[in-house]
Amino acid sequence: MTRYETLADEIEAAVQRGVFGAGERVLSVRRASRQYGVSIKTVLHAYALLESRGVIESRPQSGYFVRGRANGHAPGGAAGPAAAGSGNPGSAGGSGARRAAKPPPAAPTPAPAQVDVSRLVLSTLRNIRVQDAVPLGSPYPDPSLYPWRRINQYANAIARRHASWNLIDDLPPGNPELIRQIARRYAENGAPVDPDEIVVTVGATEAINLSLQAVAKPGDTVAVESPTYYAMLHAIERLGMRAIEVPTHPALGIDLDALARVVARQKIAACMVMPNFQNPLGFQMPDERKAQLVELLGAREIPVIENDVYQELYFGDTRPSTLKRFDTRGLVLHCASFSKSLSASYRIGWAMPGRFRAQVEKLKFLNTLTTPSVPQVALADYLRHDGYDRHLRRLRRFYRQQARLMSAMVLRFFPAGTQVSEPQGGYVLWVELPARIDSMRLYEAALARGVTIGPGYMFSMRNDFHHFIRLNYSYPWTSQTEAALKMLGELVASMA
């Protein structure tokens, strides 16, 4: 145990003993530093860890408080009682504070944990930023792989072309030339779309949020994969809906029989899936299953939100098909972005919302008015003039190699009983550890050693993935990567 972990445990123990009650302020950072004889940095680190465990929260200009009772107003649907319910149909989500349970070290299997998913994810991302850790836990691709400089050159050229820029030109649905370029990509990949259906958004995150809001309302139940990409859970949580998790096969995708039983048994307002290179599993759903999924839901008029952000990062010969292709009813809301294939920092995504297009366009207008113009036009110019296909071919080849390398290294360094996914695209590996490993404990221990991982808790409201982790293999392989994996393997062995 490092110094800050010890301190965090001491303070958590004090909270559990009631020394600091729910809603009460804990020691100021300065005072804790004096009192425990540690550095300010160690205290901050310990408090960050306690925040990620859901024990305390920081309030601006006020300090750190024990979670449990909000003072004054309850945030609307954002956290606490209104958050997405548990995966068990019929059972209400827990109210009040949630925390990542830290099982007693001696226990043979981890205790059930309830986790505030978005808090955990944000805390994980922060730790990557602040600590300059080996970013195995990052959800984002290595930015150095992307043609950032080229795209900015197009942005520069725009500045020379135009003396000014009129916001009105790029009101929703978005810049017309960018929309045309997006439609052209689909057509070139043998899946023509109607450009008039496209609404440009601030990344796929906004596209998913708007799509969900267009088809479901607070209190509704939404079916998701299990494990699922946490942005799906975020959207559900934020809009005050409830998630029901459907078992998902690591190679075939969402279990259609299980889904059929769910929709037969209860009212499902929408289904959110990632049929291509799902994060974290990495599968590519076979075409016939995509068709079956669309038919199963379509027969009941259930809209399906298709998150296809990894569409360009396939390891096979051609871009995989989409659910959209099989949709005859206008019920598929297809969401994607350039963030994984071209530029994450430009934040350009889009939705093709089928029959819900008018609602999504209106919600876009209400949510952020319009997507920034210059990034839209710069990407349109890049797509029209530059070597996007060449860039993508290189990127796919690199990721395919990295996937193999990372799998081999994990299997080499981790103890027996470890299993890995077989990604068909994208840049993340899903690793199953021996069942008694708690991924939050592993996360904390690894963080203390300068390595981040994605704990399985991020991908489910349930406890099924407590012993899974997600690893990012987009960063070029270095001796540091190898040392990080070796260290992780040793940690797992010591915990097993």
What is the closest distance, in whole angstroms, from the C-beta atom of residue 329 to a copy of itself in the complex? 9
Query: Which stretch in 118-126, 283-291, 385-393, 463-471 sits in contact with a copy of itself by CB under 8 A?
Result: 118-126
Among 48, 101, 113, 363, binds a copy of itself (CB under 8 A): 363
Minimal distance in Å, beta carbon 127 to a copy of itself? 10
Q: What is the pairing mode between strands 304-307 and 270-273?
A: parallel
**What x/- string results for residues 446 through 485 when contact with a copy of itself is judged by CB under 8 A?**
----------------------------------------
Which residues from 307-336 bind a copy of itself, rule CB under 8 A? Answer: 330-331
* Cβ proximity to a copy of itself, 273 vs 309, nearer residue: 309
Q: What is the 3-state secondary structure (H, E, C) of 153-185?
A: HHHHHHHHHCCCCCHHHHCCCCCHHHHHHHHHH
- Name which of 207 and 244 has its Cβ closer to a copy of itself: 207
Q: How far is Cα 280 from Cα 272, in angstroms, rounded to an integer?
A: 14
Tell which positions 134-173 bind a copy of itself, by CB under 8 A. Answer: 135, 138, 140, 143-144, 146, 148-149, 152-153, 155-156, 158-159, 162-172
Q: Cβ neighbours of residue 408 under 8 Å, at least 6 residues apart?
A: none
Nearest CA to 236 out of 457, 75, 82 is that of 82
Cβ atoms of residues 305 and 272 within 8 Å:
yes
Contacts 24+ apart (CB under 8 A), 13-20: 15/55, 15/56, 15/66, 20/66
Does 106 interact with a copy of itself (rule: CB under 8 A)?
no
Query: Cβ contacts of residue 37 below 8 Å, gap of 6+?
Result: none
Q: Are 255 and 305 in contact, with CB atoms under 8 Å apart? A: no
Nearer to a copy of itself, 155 or 483 (CB): 155
Minimum CB separation from a copy of itself for residue 42, in Å? 20
The two three-digit tokens of residue 400, written as one number: 């395919």
Distances (CA, A) of 135 to 305, 340, 453, 466: 29, 16, 7, 20
Contact letters for a copy of itself, residues 234-273 (x by CB under 8 A): xx-xxxx----------------------------x----
Residue 414 C-beta: closest distance to a copy of itself, Å: 26
In the numeric block, the tokens 């950072």 are attached to: 29
Q: Among 119, 242, 334, 441, which residue sits at the site for a copy of itself (rule: CB under 8 A)?
A: 119
Q: Rule CB under 8 A: which of 203-222 touch a copy of itself?
A: 203, 205-206, 209, 213-218, 220
Q: Which is nearer to a copy of itself, 238 or 441 (CB)?
A: 238
C-beta closer to a copy of itself: residue 339 or 439 = 339
Q: Is 202 a binder of a copy of itself (CB under 8 A)?
A: yes
Q: According to CB under 8 A, which one of 7, 43, 344, 395 is a site residue for a copy of itself?
A: 344
The residue from 111, 187, 251, 358 that contacts a copy of itself (CB under 8 A) is 358
Distance of alpha carbon 104 from alpha carbon 354, whole angstroms: 50
What is d(CA 361, CA 210) in angstroms, rounded to the nearest whole number? 8
Return the residues of window 375-414 that contact a copy of itself according to CB under 8 A.
Answer: 375
**Among 475, 446, 452, which Cα is nearest to 126's?**
452
| Given 356, 414, 430, 443, the residue binding a copy of itself (CB under 8 A) | 356
Q: How far apart are CA 24 and CA 38, in angstroms?
A: 23
- Map the footprint of a copy of itself across residues 3-62, applying CB under 8 A: 57-62
Q: Which two tokens stand for residue 410?
A: 């994990």
131 makes contact with a copy of itself (CB under 8 A): no
Residue 82 binding a copy of itself, by CB under 8 A: yes
Q: Smaller CB distance to a copy of itself: residue 358 or 435?
A: 358
379 vs 148: CA distance, rounded Å: 10
